[in-house]
Structure 1
């Protein structure tokens, strides 16, 4: 009798693990599909010849940012909105992700960076730096990719 109980328990545990994996993969699929479609658009439009990084930026609308090398070999960011035209932003001579992260964390000791993403805004491209402060609260800092100035801070969420 104990053998069957162990078997049923192990089977239910395995079934729960498989269901969890299926649910996790299904939850990530829309993001993966959006990234893949944006990369294909940037490459097929000859805006990029090679893709280095792709991220999803959620500002006033969802935009996929594809970073890579353009036809002339220069590093470019292509903003691919859900609907509308793609925008190209040259990265040569602009603020880097590392510089934006350092600027955002100047006053935040013991912070844990969650992500640094490039995206469009009404005033021009911005780096979104999301981090948890030492107190565990969520913070967002938006820094201009063109000149490194602070655009917005959303602190202590």
Structure 2
């Protein structure tokens, strides 16, 4: 009796693990495909040594990567798959990810910064910095990556 119960519990556990693994990997597939496509587009634009991948969702979805050009200079490359729009900019001429996080903490000292994603809005690179406020609400702080100026905060999501 105990052996049969143990076998049933083990079967249920295996089914649960296989099912949750399938759901997880299926949910990650679109992001992996987007990263692969963006990396391919960046390499076609002469960008190599790709290090970071960002997903920006606001009015449109943009995928961005950080890499290097032929001279070894760090470059951000953004890609919008619906329109095939691409844009690149030099990291040393823009606010980088670390600076975007620091600017958000400086302007909003009472929040917990989560992560930053690079994208395009109105043909300009922008950082979307997600944060959690003191009440546990999610928000987004948008920073113009060219000037370093804040231009919008969305609270209480």
Q: How high is the TM-score relative to the length of structure 2?
A: 0.91
Q: Secondary structure at the match of 1:76?
A: strand
- Within a 5 Å distance, the mapping from 1:8-157 to structure 2 comes to 8-46=8-46, 48-82=47-81, 83-122=83-122, 124-157=124-157
CA-CA distance at 1:107 after TM superposition: 4.5
Q: Tell me, in whole angstroms, the C-alpha distance in 2 between the residues paired with 1:122 and 1:18.
A: 44
Give the Cα separation in 2 of the matches to 1:104 and 1:63: 21
* Structure 1 residues not aligned, in runs of 5+: none
After superposition, what is the alpha-carbon deviation per residue over 1:62-109, rounded to whole angstroms, capped at 9, x for unaligned? 111011101121111111111223111121132122222122122534
Contact map agreement 2:101 2:115 (CA 8 A) in 1: no
How many residues get paired?
156
Judge conservation of contact 1:141–1:154 (CA < 8 Å) in 2. yes
CA distance in 2, matches of 1:79, 1:142: 17
TM-score after normalising by structure 1: 0.91
Q: Distance in 2 between matches of 1:93 and 1:65?
A: 17
CA positional deviation for 1:139: 1.2
Shift of the alpha carbon at 1:143?
0.6
Distance 1:98 1:44 in 2: 27
Mark the runs of 5 or more structure 2 residues left unpaired by the alignment: none
Q: Which has the higher strand share?
A: 2
Q: Calculate the aligned-residue CA RMSD, in Å.
A: 1.5
Residue in 2 that maps onto 1:2 = 2
